[in-house]
Structure 1
């Protein structure tokens, strides 16, 4: 089986990168080093993998599609420390790649667009074991991750990603760079988890719930949105201006709101 005999599978959300210039630009942005603890999610047919291995011969990859495993093993057989984990990245335990003596993970990947948001949330749960992350995602998803208060794309994803990480929207990747061509533009994003959270919440589960509830009906005021979490007396006791909409609050203000609700007895 050669690398050209594998057809992209719609159910896996596969679109294989085929533009050498873009591939080089992505790897240059990652700047892999020989001693990195590097893991690639969804290596596909190895377009990015090949350049990563040249710089960092010890590489872990997580690939769901069983039919790609023999292609990758044959292609990179000369690399003894190349390891494939045939697994669903949504369920994979990334902490297993960080034993006590190993450096923090550097995670890269051309993420399937159909699972990108839940996968990002899964990866954020390992933020303490991650040095940085570089992903190719649908352009709109990257815009949501990097959005600021007041912007149309600002919402739950951006707030929770920015709670844990610095976000950089690096550059666009047009559909022509893939086989088959996706129907949307893509973008490369860099996430740098904070060593110390700038605005740590007293109960991060409550913060997640508050943000989720607040954006379920984003055109309504916070007072209306938070009714399912807190009673009128608790809402009246808040110092946060709950006549605002959710899109007007910064990450720090959402943390302060969630801490206030916790102090008033609101639980997840």
Structure 2
């Protein structure tokens, strides 16, 4: 693995802070991430933001195919050169913005449940996670490197101050686990915070299926939109258009104390409430 500093200097490229470009410089971490992804020789990997190829190239050696989506044209050119130098012919590099990419279309194209990998910039992490949830029928597993704070939020359980919308959405349809910690000095340029690698294994069907999944996610968003308020107040003051009396009745029918706050409720409680709202019309 050529060091990021050497590659960037050779190509006269400066990392762009606005793109969250901090490139992994430790090959041992890269190998550990690929190991946690448990890639088989018939697997298709979708990598979000391959950067300089620290994870991309070892993943391509293990997988049937890797599709790497990179927004920065300077980096895609460099990565194509690295691909040729490594003699890799199963790496498809696509210059695109992942937030404008149809993951379902890629899944239908590959005709196989994908393994998603990526080092996600903090400013798009939440959006990408939601994308993966909506496209999860095409995804078997995701192994993602996130800022430590974001990883804690995703893996948090009920009762935690970091438990929130993403915790519930993922808890509904996946199992999450922390794989390893990555220190700031293991990147170039070094970010200001440490990172955490997490694994997301999607579950199909979910253990507590919602009658209307879109409604469930709206309910979760409403509940955490005003997380300091009680469930009755948070939900009745949202775009769900439920008056306080109706909201209280539905909460009680769902086995939820209207005075509870969202952060204290398990995933199953949100599903029960969503189903009650759906049956109420």
> What TM-score bracket applies, with the shorter chain setting the length?
over 0.9
Q: Distance in 1 between matches of 2:110 and 2:171?
A: 28
Q: Distance in 2 between matches of 1:166 and 1:57?
A: 25
Q: Distance in 2 between matches of 1:13 and 1:145?
A: 20
* Residue aligning to 1:198: 207
* Residue aligning to 1:231: 243
For residue 242 of structure 1, give the secondary structure of its aligned residue in structure 2. Answer: coil
Which 4+ stretches in 1 moved above 3 angstroms? none
Give the TM-score normalised by the residue count of structure 1. 0.93
* Aligned residue among 3, 12, 24 for 2:31: 24
Offset of 1:100 from its aligned partner? 7.1
* Residue aligning to 1:87: 96
1:65 partnered with 2:77 = no
1:104 partnered with 2:101 = no
Q: Distance in 2 between matches of 1:193 and 1:94?
A: 15
* Residue aligning to 2:164: 155
Higher helix share: 2
Q: Give per-residue Cα distances to partners, 1:202-244, cap 9 Å, x unaligned.
A: 1222211211111122122111112223113312322221111
For residue 112 of structure 2, give the secondary structure of its aligned residue in structure 1. Answer: coil
Offset of 1:101 from its aligned partner? 7.1
1:256 partnered with 2:272 = yes
Q: Distance in 2 between matches of 1:95 and 1:217?
A: 32
Q: Distance in 2 between matches of 1:208 and 1:98?
A: 23
Structure 1 residues not aligned, in runs of 5+: none
Query: 2:44·2:64 contact (CA, 8 Å) conserved in 1?
Result: no
For residue 150 of structure 1, give the secondary structure of its aligned residue in structure 2. Answer: coil
Say if 1:103 and 1:203 are closer, same or farther in 2 by CA, change over 3 A: same
Q: Distance in 2 between matches of 1:95 and 1:223?
A: 36
* Residue aligning to 2:126: 117
* 1:162-177 correspondence to structure 2 within 5 Å: 162-177=171-186
Q: Give per-residue Cα distances to partners, 1:44-81, cap 9 Å, x unaligned.
A: 01111121122225211000000111211111122222
* Aligned residue among 220, 226, 229 for 1:211: 220
